[in-house]
Structure 1
Amino acid sequence: MRRWIALLLLVVVAGLLFWVPRSSSEELAGGFTDYKVISHAMGGINDHAYTNSYEAFIANYEKGNRVFEVDLLLTDDGKLVARHEWTQHMTELLQQEDKLPQDRQATRMSYEEFKQSKILGAYDPLDWKDIMDLMERYPDIYIVTDTKEQEPEDMKHELEMLVSLAKARAPQLLDRVVPQIYNQPMLKTVQEIYPFPSLIYTLYATKDTDQDVIDFVSDNAIDAVTIPEQRVTRSFLSKLKKAGVATYVNTINETSDASKLRRMGVNGVYSDFLTEKDVESTSWLYAFGK
């Protein structure tokens, strides 16, 4: 009799070890919205933000982040690269003044200048081909695009180039590219270039009312909305949730702020420095409404 009891206990224990809850597999079905953190500009590194660098990506990937926002601009010779802006301020922030002549520090770099100018003297700048390399090497990541060109035609050209290069390399990479759109007309522009599986409507540049946003995302199957922190309200979040849309807030770097936003109903945050683990640690508060 004891032998049968021992055998039964062994079977039960083995079953517990190999059983995966249904909710776990369902959580993996939603793509990038399964994650609570979008690493802003590839995430911070050694207290530095906005680097969009290879080393920043590696550091944040190793911490467990899997969704990475990247700023994209064109060089003066038409190459697509990861850069937040072509300004003197950014050149100084990235400590590249000694790499460039004075008259080149506040203008678009050439591709060669860009690639040869180490960020903070240590980190490697990325172009779109480098980012595709990372997507092939790390098949569990998503790339959220922040196309920084101000003119609509230049922004369109950025996306066309991105799609063309991806199709030539490995078209399936586009399944893990999530473009941000900044106004309603941009949706048609993006859809005419490529039918991306996922899109984010980012609100920092729009004058849409809350109801305008809710109607737009509901009518167009937008996956997520990114909301500036000062625009977050429980009512807005609740209506977006009812519309089946995930919500993110940018840019949040304190766990206390992430916890507060989670309690309000936000799915996740853009962050320079927070990790999935950091935000997950606030989830028990969120779950119990504390």
Structure 2
Amino acid sequence: MRYSRSKMLRINKGNGALAIVFLVLVFLLSGCGEVDETEELMADYRAAVASSDYIIHALGGENEKFYINSLDMLDKCYQAGYRVFEADVSFTSDDVLVCAHSGENNVWTRNDWELRLGQEYPFEKEQVLASNGYDIEKRTCTYDTFMTFKIQGEYTATSFGELLDYMEDHTDMYLMLDAGHRTYEDTKKYYEKVVTEAGGRTDVLDRIIAGGQTTEMVKAAREAYDFPLINLYFDNDEKREEMIYDPEDFVKYCDEEGITSLSCDKDTFTGEAAKVLADSDLIIYVFTINDSAEAEDKMSLGADMVGTDFLWDK
């Protein structure tokens, strides 16, 4: 049984408790009283989305610092009442997943090092670095080196395993993974590692919003695990795949493939594209906005959640 966006997510979020009760009841009453685990999971997920306007970008920012990706900020935002988060997760040089932003195909750029990690860019002495476990091509360091960092001089470096442990202890938290742009093969390796790190904790895996920036990334994620929450990025016109180029084709593809949400840049969620996307059953995440008026504008166009660094504290 399917429900229109007006029934599911266009409820006044000011009536948060009522919205959550309504959403849960709708799903519990669907299917002539026969409710399977997937329906219950989706009801809980949609209730979490309905409970707030914001998905917390890169686990949260403060004091003009962002892309922190640290448990320190995650816990602060969780204690403030937020339940839906996004994190950048990538491989170290020795293939351990950590909370760190990467460029295409897991490359840590100079900006990733200097602005996001808040560390000196070390790749001026490549020969010395290579002997100490750094990956010169990918510009990454070892897990042990990463875990010694104070992110932006202040925050605790966080492994993906620690993030999963936090989710295990906080069973109402949902996490969107930003894997960056990866090939099919690298995405499959990435999500296989995600599953391995989870160690059989299906309750945690089922609250991960998996997927990626391309249809190939989505396919690779699903080969690693049957993630019930799948997100596909609605890229800008210059980068969007031909088969999903038109918003109508994008929505059709998502419907046929059982994709539950889309994410997009704030500059892409405009005009006719926004109208078509908002008329679908997809949950819509729009990134990244730190101005409350702009956030309200995107919500009025049909965004279900706005990705933010700072608005969680307003």
TM-score, normalised by the number of residues in structure 2:
0.74
Larger Rg over CA atoms: 1
Aligned residue in 2 for 1:150 = 182
Instruction: Show the 5 A alignment for 1:137-216.
Output: 137-148=169-180, 150-166=182-198, 168-204=199-235, 206-207=240-241, 208-216=245-253
- Which residue of the other structure, out of 227, 237, 242, is the alignment partner of 2:264? 227
Indicate conservation of the 8 Å contact 1:42/1:57, yes or no: yes
Deviation at 1:122, TM superposition (A): 1.9
SS of 2:187's equivalent in the other structure is helix
- Distance (whole Å) between structure 2 residues aligned to residue 90 and residue 250 of structure 1: 18
- 2:73 is the counterpart of 1:33: no
- Distance (whole Å) between structure 2 residues aligned to residue 119 and residue 273 of structure 1: 17
Aligned residue in 2 for 1:90 = 112
- Distance (whole Å) between structure 2 residues aligned to residue 23 and residue 142 of structure 1: 18
- Distance (whole Å) between structure 2 residues aligned to residue 21 and residue 128 of structure 1: 32
Cα separation, partners in 2 of 1:137 and 1:25, compared to 1, 3 Å: same
SS of 2:175's equivalent in the other structure is strand
Deviation at 1:151, TM superposition (A): 3.4
Q: Which has the higher helix share?
A: 1
Amino acid of the structure 1 residue aligned with 2:161:
K
- Distance (whole Å) between structure 2 residues aligned to residue 155 and residue 265 of structure 1: 30
SS of 1:231's equivalent in the other structure is coil
Indicate conservation of the 8 Å contact 2:184/2:220, yes or no: no
- Count of residue pairs brought into register by the alignment: 256
Q: Any gaps of 5 or more consecutive residues in structure 2? A: 1-15, 25-42, 103-107
- Distance (whole Å) between structure 1 residues aligned to residue 263 and residue 256 of structure 2: 17
The alignment's C-alpha RMSD in Å is: 2.4
- 2:157 is the counterpart of 1:125: yes
- Distance (whole Å) between structure 2 residues aligned to residue 73 and residue 149 of structure 1: 11
User: Sequence identity, in percent?
Assistant: 28
Indicate conservation of the 8 Å contact 2:278/2:301, yes or no: no
Aligned residue in 2 for 1:267 = 304
Deviation at 1:206, TM superposition (A): 2.6
Q: Which moved more, 1:234-243 or 1:180-189?
A: 234-243
Indicate conservation of the 8 Å contact 1:181/1:202, yes or no: yes
Aligned residue in 1 for 2:78 = 61
Indicate conservation of the 8 Å contact 1:234/1:265, yes or no: no
Amino acid of the structure 2 residue aligned with 1:244:
D
TM-score, normalised by the number of residues in structure 1:
0.80
